[in-house]
Amino acid sequence: MKIYKTISWSIIALLITIGVGYLITGSIIKGGAIGLIARALKIPTYWLHETIYEKIKPKTDCDCSN
């Protein structure tokens, strides 16, 4: 079910970005381009963030009572 939440949020965020782009530029084409470019940049950025976080996050399964 997590994938559905991820997809629905991605669509909502894309539509918001397109809307803001449209409001700023006055062009739905430019707003759409801004939204698609932002989405294209955010996907690999999120993956990179998750990859780095997994490497540096504290381990919760260790015995840290020393």
Q: Has residue 51 been placed in a domain?
A: no
Higher-confidence residue: 21 or 2? 21
Res. 63 pLDDT band, cuts 50 70 90: low
> For 65, which DSSP code?
-
Say if 60 falls within a structural domain.
Answer: no
Contact (CB, 8 A) for 49 and 41: no
Q: How far apart are CA 19 and CA 35, in angstroms?
A: 8
- What is the structure's pLDDT at 64? 60
Q: Tokens 């504290």, residue?
A: 58
Provide the domain limits for residue 42: 2-46
- pTM score, whole prediction: 0.70
Instruction: Report helix angle 2-25 to 28-56, nearest 10.
Output: 140
More confident residue, 55 or 65: 55
pLDDT tens digit string along 12-53? 999 999 999 999 999 999 999 999 999 999 889 988 998 898
Residue 63 placed within a domain: no
